[in-house]
Amino acid sequence: MGVYMYKFRIDKLELNTIDGVIDFEPRRINVVIGPNNSGKSRFLKELRDWLSGDKTDIKIINQIEYSYPESYQEVEESYNVKNKMTKDMYGNWILRTYLNKSNQPWDVNTTFESYFTRSLNSVAPEWEDFFKNIVREKNEISFFQYFGPLFFRYLGTEERLTICKMQKNYGLDSTNTNYLTSFKFEDKVLQELSANVKRIFKKDIILDTQTLGDRLGFRVGEDFGYLRGTFEQEKEGVLQLFLSNFISDF
């Protein structure tokens, strides 16, 4: 018998439709189909908001039934919370996650940088006790505010821009983060991305965190294997990448 590992899942959604309230039980892959302006994007954004602890503008979703952990320890073991805890420049503990939910509306005065930058919530010094209390008391809002970003990723029409644009390169001690910074240390994810791009497009892709100063962004080329070796190999690879970009600018 295998060891039980907690995994967040949505068991049932209660939704408002033009035909009344319906129950929907999601499967592993779900496709939302409908004409323009029928509420597809709104439904997905409401789902994102609910699972991030924000129910201020929910109209389609009435209720969500989901798996809940027996204890904080289950969340820790399944989602490796401890390794995502860092101290900011002021010595405060923060849970380093990223949520694709903007802190502000998009308008003519909004910069790309500010729209996709997120401020991370600081946590009490006794953060393990703090998280244990959230789970034990079944405080749904706090549960999703802190742990929600561990359970899902949302990529909408606006968020697609974050993939191809350079963004500010925030350090581990910063209270800010953005889409690219959020997974620059996720080596396994980036390796899988590279492998899939090679398989489909016969090209390589790498997240350049070294040659762009305080920025970071994706680069596409034939092969970036020289950047994925030992420290000395990587140092030589970064120099090679920098020089190739420098020369190509002239």
Give per-residue pLDDT as tens, 47-95: 999 999 999 889 999 999 999 999 999 999 999 999 889 888 788 898 8
Distance CA 11, CA 33 (A): 20
pLDDT at 150: 92
Q: Which residue has the tokens 């209720």?
A: 63
- In whole angstroms, what is the distance from residue 45 CA to residue 38 CA? 13
> Do 143 and 72 touch, CB atoms closer than 8 A?
no
Residue-level pLDDT at 244: 59
pLDDT computed for residue 12 by the predictor: 97
pLDDT at 192: 93
pLDDT score recorded for residue 128: 93
Asked whether the predicted pLDDT for residue 149 surpasses 60, the reply is: yes
Q: In which element (H, E) is residue 243 found? A: helix 231-248
Region 147-170: what's the mean pLDDT?
83
Please list the residues that pair with 221 across neighbouring strands. 204
Domain-by-domain residue ranges, the chain? 183-250
Please indicate whether residue 190 or residue 110 has the higher confidence score (pLDDT). Answer: 190
* pLDDT tens digits for range 84-128: 898 887 888 988 888 777 655 555 566 667 767 777 878 878 899
List the one residue out of 127, 125, 141 whose CA is nearest residue 49.
141
Q: If you average pLDDT over residues 28-32, what whole number do you get?
A: 92
**Does the pLDDT value for residue 2 go beyond 80?**
no
Q: Is 62 helix (H, G, I), strand (E, B) or coil?
A: strand
**Quick one: pLDDT at residue 246?**
44
User: What are the tokens at 149?
Assistant: 């970003």
